[in-house]
Amino acid sequence: MKDRADLVIIGGGVIGLSLAYHLAKMGFSDIVILEQGYLCFGASGRNGGGVRQQWSTEDHIELSRQSVAMFRNLSRETGYNIWFRQGGYLFLARNAEMAAQLEQNVKLQNRVGIPTRLLSPAEAQGLVPGLNTQGVEVCSYNGSDGVLFPWPAVWGMAEMAKQLGVEINTFTRVTDIDIKGRTIAKVLTDRGAVATQRVVNAAGGWSWQIARMAGCELPNKPYRHEILVSEPLRPFLHPMVSDLSDGTYFSQTMRGEICGGISDPEEGSSMSTSSSFRFLNRMCQSMIHLLPTLAGVKILRQWAGYYDVTPDGNPILGKVNEVDGFIQLNGFGGHGFMLAPIVGKLAAEWVLRKSEHPIFSKYNLNRFKSGEVKKESLVIG
């Protein structure tokens, strides 16, 4: 492991790798990535691969629109097939409040160029034959949303970054950050130290712990999110289906599996990745209720990862007041994979001072002190 670098990125997930990859493409590769496990150890390897542009805030819509365009080219760019399939997202609203929210979201999405449309329950059944729409008031659908296989997206960006000169250290746990006054001196690990004055905190569910090493408090909290996958079936389900009443979502991958999860209001903040029968029971009941033809399908596996959650559902980006050179790219909840391509590119431009996108001031940690918080409401899972 190198003992000195211009930039150290803590976290070898999709956010940290996207930043490193885009920096290296721009000619800056004196970078060391420190990952405590293997690639795909954290949330980047434990998610359902959904990529959507249906949001309630313009920032998320625009960032996701650009990420979708980048995902379309990622397989060709990296040489790793990410199995990206654009079958759309179908959201189901079961009460007047959620129906009004979907209508408002669709207007906003249309205004910025996303072709989302409202559907009646009957029209939704035309998209998903056999869908149980009893009690559904209205649906929203955007056909350019999609799903991908997360692992090769991570591997591809990692391989391209390494080829361009970035050093990636797996199974390397950060133990402390040495600060002299307001300046970072080095990052300490269980394999030695790396001298640097710039550190990116892209540690996802562990980001609050990394921040404390630098004397900084983040409001992020990790929450376990469970997910399951079925046996492969013949292709029949085109969109990701999401019931907003209980946070259920599921889609069919290009390999044929049904993959999805469900919200759990009783799940407290924790670092647990254990699997529970409660999740399996609730998720299977919800899927069978929505699509009764799934009743005989075998579930092959279930697992858990983390949502790195902030109080307003938006990420924490950019500088902090306490330490110079300590950069935040965390707090993405369950949306880090969706936003990773464009956030990595914009963050690379910001680090190199080529340009500064407004998100690095708007979603700065200071917003929680100033009260300039606009909550992202369309969060599922």
Which tens digit of pLDDT belongs to each residue from 279-290? Answer: 999 999 999 999
* Residue 316 C-beta-side C-alpha neighbours within 13 Å: 30
Measure the N-to-C terminal CA separation of the chain; round to a whole number of Å: 38
Confidence of residue 377 (pLDDT cuts 50, 70, 90): low
Tens-place pLDDT, residues 311-356: 988 999 999 999 999 999 999 998 999 999 999 999 999 999 888 8
The reported pLDDT for the residue numbered 255 is: 87
Distance CA(42)–CA(325), nearest Å, equals: 25
Spatial contact of 109 and 61, defined as CB atoms under 8 Å apart? yes
Residue 78: pLDDT above 80? yes
Compare 369 and 129 and report the one with higher pLDDT.
129
Spatial contact of 116 and 102, defined as CB atoms under 8 Å apart? no
Residue 378: pLDDT above 90? no
% of the chain at pLDDT higher than 90:
91
For the chain, the 3-state helix, strand and coil shares in percent, each to the nearest 5, are 35, 25, 40
Q: Quote the CATH superfamily of domain 85-144+221-309.
A: D-Amino Acid Oxidase, subunit A, domain 2 (3.30.9.10)
Spatial contact of 328 and 5, defined as CB atoms under 8 Å apart? no
Tens-place pLDDT, residues 45-56: 999 999 999 998
Spatial contact of 272 and 223, defined as CB atoms under 8 Å apart? no
Spatial contact of 185 and 198, defined as CB atoms under 8 Å apart? no
Q: Degrees (nearest 5) of the Cα angle 228, 18, 275?
A: 20
Confidence of residue 92 (pLDDT cuts 50, 70, 90): very high
The reported pLDDT for the residue numbered 373 is: 66
The reported pLDDT for the residue numbered 218 is: 97
Q: Indicate the average pLDDT of the chain.
A: 94
CATH number of 7-45+151-220+312-370: 3.50.50.60
The reported pLDDT for the residue numbered 86 is: 94
Q: How many residues does the chain have?
A: 381
The reported pLDDT for the residue numbered 379 is: 74
Across residues 260-288, what is the average pLDDT? 94
Across residues 235-250, what is the average pLDDT? 95
Burial class (CB in 10 A: 0-12, 13-18, 19+), 132: middle
Distance CA(334)–CA(318), nearest Å, equals: 19
Its pTM stands at 0.95
Give the ranges where the chain is alpha helix by DSSP (H).
Answer: 14-25, 58-78, 96-111, 121-127, 150-163, 207-213, 277-290, 336-351, 359-362, 367-370
Pairing of strands 199-201, 326-330: parallel
Tens-place pLDDT, residues 111-154: 999 999 999 999 999 999 999 999 999 999 999 999 999 999 99
The reported pLDDT for the residue numbered 381 is: 53
Distance CA(344)–CA(291), nearest Å, equals: 37
Distance CA(253)–CA(64), nearest Å, equals: 20
The reported pLDDT for the residue numbered 147 is: 95
Among residues 4, 29, 31, 32, the alpha carbon closest in space to that of 164 is found at 29
Distance CA(242)–CA(202), nearest Å, equals: 28
Residue 162: pLDDT above 90? yes
Do 7-45+151-220+312-370 and 85-144+221-309 have matching folds?
Answer: no
Across residues 101-113, what is the average pLDDT? 94
Spatial contact of 267 and 279, defined as CB atoms under 8 Å apart? no
Q: C-alpha distances in angstroms, 59 versus 27, 53, 66, 197, 339?
A: 28, 10, 11, 30, 11
Write down the domain spans for the chain: 7-45+151-220+312-370, 85-144+221-309
CB atoms within 10 A of CB 243: 24
Indicate the SS3 state at residue 247: coil
